[in-house]
Chains A and B, each alone.
Chain A
Amino acid sequence: MALKSGISRRGALKLGAAATALPLVHIRTAGAAGKLTIAFWDHWVPAGNDVMRKQVQAWADKNKVDVQPDFVTSNGFKNLVTIAAEAQAKQGHDIQALPGWETQNHRELLEPMDDVMKRLISQYGEPDETEQYLAKWQGHWMAVPTSSGNQNKGPCARISVLKEKAGLDVVSMYPAKDVRTDAAKDWTWEAHLKAAEACQKAGMPFAIGLGVTADSVDTAGSLFHAYGAEVVNAKGEVTVDSDPVRQVLEYAEKMVKVLPADAVSYDDASNNRALISGKAAMIWNPPSAYAVAKRDAPKIAADCWTFPAPSGPKGRFMPLGAFMWGVWKFAANKSAAKEMIEYLMQRENVEERCTAVDGYDLPPFPKMLDFPVWANVEPPKGTVFNYPMRPVHDSQHSIACSPAPPEIAVQIYNRGTLPTMFAKLRSGQSIKQTIAWAQEELEGFTR
Chain B
Amino acid sequence: MADGTSVPIGVITGRRASARRANTMQRFARRRSTIAVLLALPLILLIAGLVIYPAIYAIYLSMLNKRMTSFVGLGNFAFLLKRHTFQLVIFQSCFFAVSAVILKAFIGFILAHLMHNIPSRNQRLWRGLLLVPWVIPLAMSTLGWWWLFDPSYSAFNWILNALGFQSVPWLGEAWIARICVVTVNVWFGTPFFMIMYLAALKSVPEQLYEAAAIDGAGAIQKLFFVTLPMMRNIIAITVLFSLIVTFADFDIVRILTAGGPQDTTHLFATYAFVVGIQSGDIPLGASVSLFMFPILAVAAFFVLRGVTRRSKEIAA
Residues of A at under 8 Å CB distance from B? 76-77, 80-81, 84, 88, 101-102, 105-106, 108, 210-213, 260-267, 270, 273-274, 277, 279, 407, 410-411, 414-416, 420, 423-424, 427, 437, 440-441, 444, 447
Contacts and interface: CB of A to CB of B under 8 A. Distances in A.
B144 interface: no
A411 B281 contact: yes
Given A262-B172, A437-B84, A277 B152 contact: yes
A264 B79 contact: no
B169 interface: yes
18 contacts: A80-B277, A211-B258, A211-B260, A212-B258, A262-B151, A262-B152, A262-B172, A264-B260, A264-B262, A267-B258, A273-B153, A277-B152, A414-B278, A414-B280, A416-B260, A424-B262, A427-B261, A441-B83
Q: Is the interface of B mostly helix, strand, loop or mixed?
A: loop
Interface of B: 66-67, 79, 83-85, 151-153, 167, 169-172, 174, 177, 254, 257-263, 273-274, 276-282
A341 B50 CA distance: 37
Most buried by B among A213, A411, A424, A437: A411
Q: Is the interface of A mostly helix, strand, loop or mixed?
A: helix
Contacts of A105: 280
B151 A260 contact: yes
Nearest to B278: A414
Contacts of B174: 427
A265 B279 contact: no
Contacts of A263: 172
Contacts of B177: 265
Nearest to A427: B262
A415 B279 contact: yes
A265 B85 contact: no
Given A77-B278, A84-B282, A444-B83, A212 B259 contact: yes
Contacts of A437: 84
B261 A423 contact: yes
Contacts of B153: 273, 277
Contact of A261 (B83, B167, B258, B277): B167
A213 B153 CA distance: 19
B152 A410 contact: no
A280 to B, nearest CB: 9
Given A84-B276, A265-B170, 13 more contacts: A80-B277, A88-B282, A108-B67, A211-B260, A212-B260, A270-B152, A407-B66, A410-B279, A420-B263, A423-B262, A427-B174, A440-B84, A444-B85
A418 to B, nearest CB: 13
A375 B67 CA distance: 46
Contact of B169 (A213, A262, A279): A262
Contacts of B85: 441, 444
B257 A80 contact: no
Given A265-B177, A423-B262, A84 B172 contact: no
Given A77-B278, A411-B279, A420-B263, A279 B257 contact: no
B165 to A, nearest CB: 14
A273 B274 CA distance: 25
Contacts of A261: 167, 169, 172
A279 B152 contact: yes
A38 to B, nearest CB: 21
Which 9 residue pairs are nearest across A and B when measured between Cβ atoms?
A262-B151, A105-B280, A265-B171, A264-B261, A265-B172, A414-B278, A262-B172, A414-B279, A411-B279
A126 B234 CA distance: 68
A416 B280 CA distance: 14
A371 to B, nearest CB: 33
B271 to A, nearest CB: 10
Nearest to A81: B277
Contacts of A423: 261-262
A265 B280 contact: no
Contacts of B257: 265
Given A261-B167, A262-B151, A265-B172, A447 B261 contact: no
Contacts of B258: 211-213, 267
Contacts of A444: 79, 83, 85
B218 to A, nearest CB: 50
A37 B273 CA distance: 27
A420 B262 contact: yes
Contacts of A210: 261
A77 B261 contact: no
A414 B274 contact: yes
A410 B280 contact: yes
A262 B171 contact: yes
Contacts of B281: 411
A277 B154 CA distance: 13
A142 to B, nearest CB: 14
A238 B12 CA distance: 88
Contacts of B279: 410-411, 414-415
Nearest to A80: B277
A315 B276 CA distance: 35
Nearest to A216: B260
A265 B276 CA distance: 22
B277 A266 contact: no
Contacts of A267: 258
Contact of B152 (A81, A264, A273, A407): A273
A261 B150 CA distance: 12
Nearest to A261: B169
Contacts of B259: 212
A410 B280 CA distance: 8
